[in-house]
Structure 1
Amino acid sequence: MLAGDSGSVPEIPAEFHDLFEKETYAHVVTMFPNGMPHVTPVWIDYDPEDDRLLVNTERHRCKAKNVSKNPAIAASMTDPDDPYRYLSVTGEVEEMTTEGAREHIDELSQRYFGKDYPVEIESERVVLRIRPERVFTANPN
């Protein structure tokens, strides 16, 4: 299924919201200044009230540096319980914020590890708020 081609603003379908409640990893693509893609696996979250994907990173990492120059981004994730069920989103980072970022990484760490974030923070945590422009899904069941 593809959403967002008809000129309407795509939304993450409700039947895929469960991906943000379990240990789903996403592969996020940002663009280096030379035009080459940078892909990295990340923890992924979702703000259903604002329909925004959330990626928490540190300011000094490639993802944050890349989107500060070019906000284009893509994220693809498969259901950890069914690898044929997936959600893929392309869009733009509309905001990179430190507000609540430290608390957010602890929330994500609780979901993925069952404890607060165990890694020393080297710079500053930021949340990338991603506005979907195209949404692709597959759900064979």
Structure 2
Amino acid sequence: MSRTTVELPAAARALLTGPRTATLTTLRPDGTPHVTPVRFTFDTATGLARVTTRAGTRKARNVSAGGPGARVALCQADGFRWLTLEGRAAVTGAPARVVEAVRRYTARYGSAPPAPPDLVVIEIAVDRVLSLNL
């Protein structure tokens, strides 16, 4: 998964650092959208967003079923301001990547995410950013 720096205005970076919930949209195997609330982190230096989840969740299964080109969207809103991060996603259970995702999640939200035995990370290589009022 290639990664690139994503330039964001200060207001957008601030929106992505507060302890807010977003929605993650993935596509089911039949092509219909699946939208679910998530907590996530975003690294502007690498353009990588991370969502921790259980391996068997619908969102993880959708990304896995989509293969290496699976596209997803994360949308975070605050009143009339919103920001959507789109990109290619992959699911990984690699221990170092899970540890990094948990570290970043804990820094953003002030506590660690749930730690089930099948914890995985959906990594999103962001290649498109949409926003309003930022």
Shorter-chain TM-score range:
0.7 to 0.9
Q: Specify the SS of the correspondent of 2:45.
A: coil
Task: Percent identity, please.
Answer: 28
Identify the match of residue 101 of structure 2 among 99, 104, 107. Answer: 104
Q: Specify the SS of the correspondent of 1:131.
A: strand
* Alignment correspondent of 2:87: 91
* Alignment correspondent of 2:54: 58
Contact 1:10–1:134 (CA under 8 A) maintained in structure 2: no
Q: How many residues align?
A: 125
* Alpha-carbon distance in 2 for matches of 1:35, 1:124: 26
Q: Over aligned residues, Cα RMSD in angstroms?
A: 2.4
Task: Point out 4+ residue stretches in structure 1 off by more than 6 angstroms.
Answer: none
Identify the match of residue 13 of structure 1 among 8, 11, 27. Answer: 8
In the alignment, structure 2 segments of 5+ residues that lack a partner are none
Shift of 1:20: 2.7
Higher helix content, 1 or 2: 2
Aligned pairs for 1:1-141 within 5 A: 11-15=6-10, 16-70=12-66, 71-79=70-78, 83-93=79-89, 95-98=90-93, 99-102=96-99, 104-105=101-102, 107-109=104-106, 111-112=108-109, 114-117=110-113, 119=114, 121=116, 123-139=117-133
Bigger radius of gyration among the two: 1
In the alignment, structure 1 segments of 5+ residues that lack a partner are 1-8
Contact 2:55–2:120 (CA under 8 A) maintained in structure 1: yes
**Structure 1 letter corresponding to 2:65:** K
* Alpha-carbon distance in 2 for matches of 1:88, 1:134: 8
